[in-house]
Amino acid sequence: MLAETTAFTLDGISARPVRVEVDVQRGLPVFQIVGLPDAAVREARERVRAALINCGFDFPLRRITANLAPADLRKVGPGLDLALAAALLGAAGEISIERLAGWAFAGELALDGTLRPVRGALAMAEAARAMGSAGIVVPPANGGEAALAHGVDVRTIPSVAGLRGLANGDYPGDRPEPLDLSRAPALPDLSDLRGQEHLRRALEVAAAGEHGTLVIGPPGAGKSLAARRLPSILPPLAGGEILEVARIASACGIGAGAVSSVRPFRAPHHTVSPAGLVGGGSPPRPGEITLAHRGVLFLDELCEFRRSALEALREPMETGEVSIVRASGRQTLPCRFTLVAAANPCPCGRGEDDSSCQCNEASIRRYRAALSGALADRIDINLGVRQPGAEAMAGPPGESSASVRKRVITARQVMSDRFGGSRTNSTATTSELAVFEVEPAARKLLAEAHQSQGMSGRAHDRVLRLARTVADLADSNPIEEAHIAAALQFRRREAK
């Protein structure tokens, strides 16, 4: 007898539908799964057998063949267990499969038959809606996450035994409530940063315009402290952005289904590989830049990173997406993030201005070689800082994140009115830069700086984008000379 169900397999951060066909015939007892399954899918035979027996079903001692279509798509993960069990029970005559026609299934089976959560439940629910399924059955732990996909009927069952009630119409499953999108965990406050007014101002500009920032200074200057407080002054995620971030986190198994309006913050260690940073592997998986989508990517000790990993950031920083090409196909993953990097001025960290620094010119050159000129040119803000004095550390706290955030949100609204959607000044195209209103004195100052500093065309445009953000924060329509001057100061690595 033949029975069919629908399941999903993850392909990057998207869910691809899989048709599960199970045929039970006379012959020697064997359970075979075909259709490019990975090791986790092949091991589903033992999980399904034990789960069905422990839940009171009769496991057929016959020749069982399970086909996962399409056959040329690699099937990964244990999320196909529930669909395999439902199709097997239908083919063996244990349940009526007709009532389950049109439903999709996702879930991993424990040996006692209970359902364990799977990665990518939100993407699977959206895929079920897109293909017109009657609904999707998921584990209880994935119910709230899957229910975020409006327009599809989401049901949960605690164990594989619930399939009998679904098939008979006695138990329709539980309908979960969507996760609360309004909750937001407490974040470190910017008021903790003392004695670094220039750095605080740079963070505000970076948050408003999504400008990449590189902070260079000795240990203890507040570089890491400032970077970890950047999310507290960023605007909250909008509804569509929350689903984008939740879909990525769910597909990567991060957060255990937790969803909030706080933007993601990723801080990979400097030993991360290029594939771990931008994505890759077999099958390809998202990297840190995709996990930081719509949020902050913090690279501490930037000059300790592999140069190959840093160079891989160049194109994603420009386009906001990364394409991973393998023999099996191409995946394009979103990665619109705000880069914040911190580095020491030399290997010892003290800097050439410190008399105790013993680093020679050759060692400093090797240390800084990890950051190429091409990558540095793509970072809008290059800022040098020094250690704060004792008076500043003992003084009152700085301005709170809440007050800075209000100005950032106001500036973001101005940019949204200018470009539409959630775009910011850092994404302005060359044609959009040409129509910015710039006062003659400001144009003259920018031209003089371009000539004296030997700026590239990219650096020229980035100064203009920075100045536009400074003007938006000052509620000024034209870009004035002071705004250009401030933008030029933000691109100087000398500590002030």
Q: What is the CATH number of the domain that holds 81?
A: 3.30.230.10
Mention every residue, 6+ apart, whose C-beta is less than 8 A from residue 483. Answer: 442, 467, 468, 470, 471, 474, 476
Nearest in space to 20 (alpha carbons), one of 39, 8, 6:
6
Residue 413 lies inside a defined structural domain of this protein: no
Q: Would you say 354 and 313 are in contact if contact means Cβ atoms under 8 Å apart? A: no
Kindly state whether residues 438 and 478 are assigned to the same domain: yes
- Residue length, the chain? 496
The DSSP bridge partners found for residue 338 are 296
Residue 20's alpha-carbon distances to 104, 147, 243, in angstroms, are: 10, 23, 28
Kindly state whether residues 236 and 299 are assigned to the same domain: yes
- At residue 296, φ and ψ (nearest 5 deg) are -120, 135
Residue 119 lies inside a defined structural domain of this protein: yes
Last residue of a domain, one of 398, 414, 449: 398
Residue 414 lies inside a defined structural domain of this protein: no
Kindly state whether residues 213 and 356 are assigned to the same domain: yes
Beta strand spans in 260-320 (E): 265-266, 296-299
Kindly state whether residues 375 and 338 are assigned to the same domain: yes
Kindly state whether residues 222 and 325 are assigned to the same domain: yes
The DSSP bridge partners found for residue 308 are none
Going across the sheet that includes 296-299, the strands are 265-266, 296-299, 338-343, 213-216, 381-384
Give the model confidence (pLDDT) of 362-403 as tens digits: 888 888 888 888 899 899 999 999 888 888 888 888 899 999
Mention every residue, 6+ apart, whose C-beta is less than 8 A from residue 374. Answer: 311, 314
Kindly state whether residues 53 and 197 are assigned to the same domain: no
Kindly state whether residues 365 and 328 are assigned to the same domain: yes
Helix (H) or strand (E) holding 339: strand 338-343
Kindly state whether residues 101 and 225 are assigned to the same domain: no
Number of domains the chain contains = 3
Identify the CATH number of the domain in which residue 467 sits: 1.10.8
Helix (H) or strand (E) holding 381: strand 381-384
Last residue of a domain, one of 168, 200, 227: 168
**Residue 315 C-alpha from the chain's centroid:** 17
Prediction pTM value: 0.91
Kindly state whether residues 323 and 246 are assigned to the same domain: yes
Kindly state whether residues 162 and 198 are assigned to the same domain: no
Q: Would you say 137 and 155 are in contact if contact means Cβ atoms under 8 Å apart? A: yes
Axis-axis angle for helices 457-473, 401-419 (nearest 10): 120
Residue 177 lies inside a defined structural domain of this protein: no
3-state secondary structure of 62: coil
> Residue written as tokens 């400097």?
270
Beta strand spans in 141-244 (E): 154-156, 213-216
> Residue written as tokens 């993960």?
77
pLDDT values of the chain reduced to their tens digit, one per residue, 496 residues = 899 999 999 998 999 999 999 999 999 999 999 999 999 999 999 999 999 999 999 999 999 999 999 999 999 999 999 999 999 999 999 999 888 888 999 999 999 999 999 999 999 999 999 999 999 999 999 999 999 999 999 999 999 999 999 998 888 889 999 988 777 778 999 999 988 899 999 999 999 999 999 999 998 889 999 999 999 999 999 878 998 999 999 998 886 556 778 899 999 999 999 999 999 887 788 999 999 999 999 999 999 999 999 999 999 999 999 998 877 778 899 999 999 999 998 888 877 666 778 888 888 888 888 888 889 989 999 999 988 888 888 888 889 999 999 999 999 999 999 998 889 999 999 999 999 999 999 999 999 999 998 888 999 999 999 999 999 999 999 999 999 999 999 987 655 4
Beta strand spans in 70-151 (E): 103-105, 108-109, 115-116, 135-138
Give the model confidence (pLDDT) of 116-162 as tens digits: 999 999 999 999 999 999 999 999 999 999 999 999 999 999 999 99
Kindly state whether residues 352 and 267 are assigned to the same domain: yes
Residue 441 lies inside a defined structural domain of this protein: yes
Identify the CATH number of the domain in which residue 387 sits: 3.40.50.300
Kindly state whether residues 245 and 392 are assigned to the same domain: yes
The backbone region for 35, taken as left when phi is positive above 0, alpha when psi lies in -120 to 50, beta otherwise, is: left
Residue 88 lies inside a defined structural domain of this protein: yes
Last residue of a domain, one of 381, 398, 415: 398
Residue 178 lies inside a defined structural domain of this protein: no
Domain that holds residue 315: 190-398
Residue 419 lies inside a defined structural domain of this protein: no
